[in-house]
A and B are shown apart, each in its own frame.
Chain A
Amino acid sequence: MSITARLVLLAVLGVIPVILYPGAVSIAVWLALLVAGCVVDLVLAASPRAIGLQRKLPETVRLTEETTSTLTVRNHARRTFRGWIREGWQPSAGAQNPVHHLSIPAGEGRNLQVRLVPRRRGDLSVHHVTIRSAGPLGLAARQVTIPMPGTLRVLPPFHSKRLLPSKLRRLRELDGRAAVQIRGAGTEFDSLRDYVRGDDVRSIDWRASARRRDTVVRTWRPERDRRVVIVLDTSRTSAARIEDEPRLDTGIESSLLLSVLAQRGGDRVDFLAFDRRPRARVESAAKGNMLASLVSAMAPLESELIEADFSRIPSQVRSISAHRSLVVLLTALDSGAVEEGLLPMLPSLTAQHVVVVGSVRDPHLDELRSQRGTAAETYRAAAAERALLDRAAIKERLRQLGAEVVDEPPHELPSKLADVYIRLKATGRL
């Protein structure tokens, strides 16, 4: 049970009789009045256990968007229900109006719309619904909390979607559908067309020209149906926040942009989130909308506070694709973790596949590096320089082992990674 503001107000009004007739009697009488009011209310309130609840919840929602949870409340009691109903969402679900005050006559029902503005990616849960049913006097209420679990999957926002048109345009240029045609865009012969000024003379097909009595050039198109395997590291290093975004989220953005691009480029994309064991996996062979299954697989990913086991990645990649593929490793290039894990494993991967290592670079280090006002700042600058030097050394070693390295600040990584993909495709290295 619970009491209401009205009861407290009534108690405050009791000051008047207490002043007018000081003594124990006025206090006792007024107190008895309040208690009687509460008892009447509790007895006459509609039973909160006779309220039927039904929830309708969308399966998924994108992070920056808002959605509604619809609660259908039916009053099966014999009396009119007056009171409050609260849906118990976890705080990051951003329920804007979790508490509703309403009145439902006996036998009728109402729909409650709780607006949700999620503040976090992942599976957000609602645990219970609390019903507080007040009596006709509105002095006291009966309260019951009914367990009613539900889950809303909040998908990653995919901010880098805006980059997609420009990247697709460049992909089309490669493909030969756009006006610009360059020789060597691929190795697969596509078609013949008339020579126009500016074409490379080396691409002239002399035999065809002789036949047609007109100068004809060959065009190539990039290979298709290549495999792209994106491996996202979810180990402890992915938890670091860089420019207020965890590495993991930047990795998700990059993976999404790259997958969509590669898919539109006619390649097959596989996604794997891995630390010591696979956390999520999306296969190119799967039916349905590739992006939808990707975002829904990525939504519940969290950084795990464990060290990544890079030694198992080659076997994981092999199980995904037996052929030569583009393997994109999204991880952190922090010295220590990489030297012990990634570097020893890399040769076995580069031997068979084209490997791109993508990593988020911390712009904060560059700021620290150039601040040299005091002794403390200078030491910090030295430490930042040390970190940057270590990083440069690691990148150099990765390149020596045959991997491409993309090391960019968070907001540029998706775009730069897409550029590398386009470049590799253009030069026929896939």
Chain B
Amino acid sequence: MSSVIQSGPPAHELPPKKIEQEAGNEIMGDGGSARSTVLDRLTRARGWIALGVLLGIVVVIGVVFAGSGAQDPLSPDNAAPEGARAVAEVLRDEGVVVVRAESLEDAIDRLEGPDDTLLLHDPNTWLTAGQLGNIGGLADRTVLIEPSLGMLTQLANGIRSAGVVPADVEEPLQAACADPDARAAAAVSPGGLSYRGAVTCFPLPGGEGGRPAGVFATTADARVAVLGNGDIISNGFIDEQGNAALALRVLGSTSTLVWYQPTENDLAISSGPVDPLSLLPDFVNPLMIWLLITALLAILWRGRRLGPLVTEPLPVVVRSAETAAGRARLYQDAGSVDHAVQTLRAATLNRLASALRIPPSSSRATVVAAAAQKTGREFGDLDQLLNSYSPRSDAQLVQWSQELEKLEQEIRRS
């Protein structure tokens, strides 16, 4: 008798020995060098480095030019139309030393020497009466640009404010006074504020009644001059009418011109609450900087991976019974109770037929009759449940389907 079963090692065992792959040649290095790695990194980071350098340059330029008041109106360093660099440059060319005072103390220091002019332009009224008193009288000649009432009181005794120059005054204002500077200029642009002083020049038209108010006034001794229209010395208007002549003559009469525009730093410090930051120990700020550096190092330490990420080719995942769930939602959204009823009925009848051992092709009445016989229920009840009744709403559907399920379990158990 021959054996069907093959002899030899059992076929269902995997080969017992583990086949090792060839170990292959020894691999050393990646073909590069430290130098090539550095160059490669630099080449790849080229764009970022360029961007960083550009940003640095912009920041440096900003810092250099922002601190010098180049943006302020009537600043001697501002080349914009509202600045006054033109006048300052021309005065320098003419041999006048034009210095910009950064603060009140600075201005006072600069006015130590002889033969100097102070240009004071303080539209925001930063200086108090006391500070104005400190600077008053130091200069041989003081030119106030659009001064406020307080400045006039402290520095220009006898000159009073006379309100705003009306906007409808468009004709150039004529000198019409004895002041030689004004006469040399002959006419200036209108605008700004008007004043009345011992000598009032460039009067506004129409003020025939009393003493006319003008945009340029001086005290009797001509040591203090008030210029009501700052635009006259601005880059934008300097070349109109006699603006240039007036500005150069008024500001250039001495060998030094101190150009002082007070800032918020000149505010007199009042005895307010103490800044809490000043109470901290000295080491706090350096410590913060050092902790920042440490944090940066920690980020670099944790951020450097030990080799690149390895990708995983992910398999396709399809959930089972997905189509059934989708179809259920379709039934429900469409409210198709009839469909659900038909399906549930057909499935139950099928299963009952096989449970009752009657051919699946037999009629419903046969199944109902067999079920009634098996369970001992009324034929009419079961016929209604399995055959004639059809639910109309979701609630009826749920109740009916549960009764079907109950009947099925009853028959399967018995």
Contacts A241-B320, A260-B12, A382-B328 given: A59-B308 contact, CB under 8 Å?
A: no
Known: A55-B24, A221-B4. A385 touches B344 (CB 8 A): yes
Q: Within B78-125, which residues are at the interface with A (CB < 8 Å)?
A: none
- Given A2-B304, A58-B19, A90-B311, decide whether A387 and B293 contact each other with a Cβ distance below 8 A: no
The listed residue (A27, A99, A289, A370) touching B15 by CB distance below 8 A is A289
Nearest CB in chain A to that of B331: its residue:
A379
Q: Which residue of B lies closest to A389 (CB)?
A: B347
Q: Is A62 an interface residue (CB 8 A)?
A: yes
Residue B405 is within 8 A (CB to CB) of chain A in the complex: yes
Instruction: Report the count of interface residues on A (CB-CB < 8 A).
Output: 121
Please state if A240 and B5 are interface contacts (CB–CB under 8 Å).
no
Task: Please tell me if B14 contacts chain A, counting CB pairs below 8 Å.
Answer: yes
Contact with B along A262-282 (1 / 0, CB 8 A): 011110000000000000000
- Within 8 Å of chain A (Cβ to Cβ): is B324? yes
Indicate whether A172 reaches chain B with its CB closer than 8 angstroms.
yes
B21 engages A57 (CB within 8 Å): yes
Cβ contact within 8 Å between A224 and B4? yes
Partner of B23, one of A31, A56, A90, A362: A56
A161 touching B23, Cβ below 8 Å: no
- Determine which of B5, B320, B325, B395 lies in contact with A264 in the assembled complex, contact meaning CB atoms within 8 Å: B5
| CB-CB contacts below 8 Å: A122-174 with B | 126-130, 132, 142-148, 150, 155, 161, 164, 168, 172
Which of B4, B15, B323, B344 is within 8 Å of A265, CB to CB? Answer: B4
**A7 lies within 8 A of B286 (CB):** no
Q: Does B271 contact A (CB under 8 A)?
A: no
* Across-interface contacts of B283 in A (CB, < 8 A): 18-20, 22
Q: A148 to B30, alpha carbons, bound, how many Å?
A: 9
Residues of B within 8 A of A53 (CB): 26-28
Q: Could you tell me the distance between the alpha carbons of A290 and B13 in the complex, rounded to whole angstroms?
A: 10
Contact B27 A384 (CB under 8 A): no
> Which chain A residues lie closer than 8 Å to B20 at the CB level?
56-59
Write the chain B residue with the least CB distance to A360. B320
Interface residues of B (CB under 8 A from A): 1, 3-6, 11-15, 18-21, 23-30, 32-34, 37, 281-283, 285-287, 289-291, 293-294, 297-298, 300-301, 304, 306-308, 310-313, 315-325, 327-329, 331-332, 339-341, 343-344, 346-347, 350, 394-395, 397-398, 401-402, 405
18 A-B pairs (CB sep. < 8 Å) = A14-B290, A22-B282, A34-B297, A53-B27, A55-B23, A56-B21, A58-B18, A59-B21, A76-B28, A88-B307, A90-B313, A145-B308, A241-B318, A290-B11, A379-B331, A382-B328, A383-B327, A385-B343
